[in-house]
């Protein structure tokens, strides 16, 4: 069974043209056509923290259902992090993942099931500080280890890590495998691989890539990344 996972920092749906355009982001998501999507910077930062992608727009213009993890009535995610799943994928459990923070960062977890296969997804947006990032990765890994069931897991998001192999990546020892889909930031001329997907040992990797299209090049300051993974037959 193959499942495509994507991660996208949507910059509150404000593109390089300085326009807030939720429909442009939804169109990019339709271009990627992933089964599970982790979004970062999905809510506005202050006040009511309104969702940059309105719920009615998601339900009406996509095949996705948001995992319910809102921190305020008008929000979509937890500290700007949200998970969208394709209709037909069942939600078994979900929670926010507490992180040590100096600035508003966060992570969210969803336990999902498709065709009898259970799997876990964590979406995250890590700190700008290197030391803080490593502490946050440790918190995410500790949270996953403390979950009731040990199931195939995918961690993904904007890690804010400029190093290709050092920094917070040192925290991902076996059985974790850090994937590098490609350069995703800044979107107009990508230089850094800030957006990553990390998988547990149960997954086979079919392929990874950065989604680069005319819309994704202007819709946010990050490009989306994705990975197609497979699980062995039961």
pLDDT tens-digit readout, 173-217: 988 999 999 999 999 999 999 999 999 999 999 999 999 999 999
Half-sphere exposure of residue 141, counting CA atoms within 13 Å on the CB side? 18
What mean pLDDT value characterizes the chain? 91
pLDDT (tens digit per residue) in 99-138: 887 666 789 999 999 999 999 999 999 998 888 899 999 9
Query: What confidence category does residue 45 fall into, taking pLDDT thresholds of 50, 70 and 90?
Result: low
Residue pointed to by tokens 């300051």 = 221
- CATH architecture classification, 2-230: 4-Layer Sandwich (3.60)
Prediction pTM value: 0.94
From CA 20, how far away is CA 15, in angstroms rounded?
A: 6
At residue 149 the predicted structure's pLDDT band, cuts being 50, 70 and 90, is confident
Q: What percent of the chain has a predicted confidence (pLDDT) above 70?
A: 93
**Cis amide bond preceding 186, omega within 30:** yes
pLDDT over threshold 60, residue 47? no
Reported as a single tens digit per residue, the pLDDT across 156-175 is 999 999 998 899 999 999 88
pLDDT, residue 191, reads 96
pLDDT exceeds 80 at position 73? no
Cα(167)–Cα(130) distance, integer angstroms: 7
Between the two ends of the chain, the Cα-to-Cα distance in Å is 10
The domain ranges of the chain are 2-230
Backbone angles phi and psi of 14, in degrees to 5: -95, 120
User: If you count them, how many residues does the chain have?
Assistant: 234
Nearest 5°: the CA angle 126, 85, 12 is: 45
Band the pLDDT of 48: cuts 50, 70, 90: low
């Amino acid at each position: 069974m193959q499942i495509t996972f994507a991660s996208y920092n949507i910059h509150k749906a404000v593109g390089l043209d300085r326009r807030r355009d939720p429909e442009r982001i939804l169109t990019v998501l339709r271009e990627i056509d992933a089964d599970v999507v982790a979004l970062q910077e999905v809510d506005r930062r202050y006040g009511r923290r309104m969702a940059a992608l309105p719920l009615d727009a998601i339900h009406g213009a996509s095949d996705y259902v948001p995992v319910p993890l809102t921190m305020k009535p008008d929000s979509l995610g937890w500290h700007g992090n949200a998970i969208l799943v394709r209709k037909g994928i069942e939600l078994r459990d979900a929670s926010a993942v507490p992180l040590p923070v100096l600035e508003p960062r966060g992570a969210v977890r969803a336990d999902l099931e498709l065709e009898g296969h259970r799997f876990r997804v964590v979406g995250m947006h890590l700190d700008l500080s290197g030391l803080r990032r490593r502490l946050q990765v440790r918190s995410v890994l500790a949270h996953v280890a403390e979950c009731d069931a040990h199931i195939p897991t995918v961690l993904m998001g904007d890690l804010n890590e400029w190093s290709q192999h050092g920094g917070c990546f040192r925290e991902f020892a076996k059985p974790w495998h850090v994937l590098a889909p490609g350069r995703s930031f800044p979107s107009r001329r990508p230089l850094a691989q800030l957006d990553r997907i990390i998988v547990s040992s149960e997954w086979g990797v079919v392929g990874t890539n950065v989604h680069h299209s005319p819309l994704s090049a202007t819709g946010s300051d990050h490009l989306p990344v994705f990975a197609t993974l497979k699980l062995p037959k039961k």
